[in-house]
Amino acid sequence: MTNIKVGVIGGAGYTAGELLRILVNHPNVDIVFVNSSSNAGNPITEVHSGLIGETDLVFTSELPFEKVDALFLCSAHGDSKKFMDENEVPASLKIIDLSTDYRQKRDDHDFVYGLPEMNREEICKASHIANPGCFATAIQLALLPLAAAGLIVDEVHVNAITGSTGAGVKPSSTSHFSWRNNNISIYKAFEHQHLMEIGQSMRRLQDGFDKSINFIPVRGNFARGIYATTYTKCDLSLEDAKKLYKDYYKEAAFTFVTDKNPDMKQVVNTNKGIVYLEKHGDKLLVVSMIDNLLKGASGQAVQNMNLMFGLDEKAGLGLKSIGF
């Protein structure tokens, strides 16, 4: 098989930088162009300095669709739909969108929700993928086995903390170092936009699902990673719950159930999702964690690309955790 030729739209942000870091070392990929109108003509390494010595690519304002097999959309939320509406994108071009624009199933698009732990078969046959959100990925990994078994019988409570890279590359009052360092705060309590896609997945897996998902997002004083704690009432014993989760994820390429209370560094800089269970009275506690830029964004996008093109699902994603 000849290498997949890819293009990237919106190439200057954190997700694009992580995507390029993966793709330049992917054994089955050639990067043809990286589009960024604000950086056109500049070397990619002027923005993504971690790629010095790995690529001589230059940002372009051009859109040579005819030269690529796959297109990654890494623009801001709301811009992907505008891009698709304003450009004549060839029907044969496979597209992976990392924004929120196509995650909700609607009649006006054919994007498949790209969570391999739930939609692997559909992803393999899809032409267009809506990559899940970072919080949504971490929280769904905690809930998918229960929903698939029809066992979410009460409201769900979630607290999840995320690194500053989740706020994007442009600094804001709550993301720059002097505010974020040695600090913590909540935002969008009970109203985070990722709740819509989580609810959609729960309703798909569990008929009649109508329980509240009470989600408190937290800004962390670290750069990357999501650590989520989820609990709900559950009649299963801890042993039966562990069996349910391990059976559900036994074929998953990157999601693992551990018997030892984990820490976030085990997933940072990898495409892994780690899940851990405890039982407290009638409540099941599920700890789940991912790297928000990898399994929560660019790594999962490459995982989806691999599935779409019939490659080894793990191709290019043998990334090392930082450990310490």
Give the active site residues. Answer: 134
Q: Is 269 left (phi over 0), alpha (psi -120 to 50) or beta?
A: left
> For tokens 């569990």, what's the residue?
206
- Write the DSSP assignment of 154-172 as a string of letters: S-EEEEEEE-GGGG-SS--
Measured between alpha carbons, how far is 322 from 324 in angstroms, rounded to an integer? Answer: 6
In sequence order, the 6+-apart residues with CB closer than 8 A to the CB of 167 are 174, 175, 219
Q: Is 47 left (phi over 0), alpha (psi -120 to 50) or beta?
A: alpha
Measured between alpha carbons, how far is 218 from 158 in angstroms, rounded to an integer? Answer: 11
Chain centroid, CA 268 distance in Å: 13
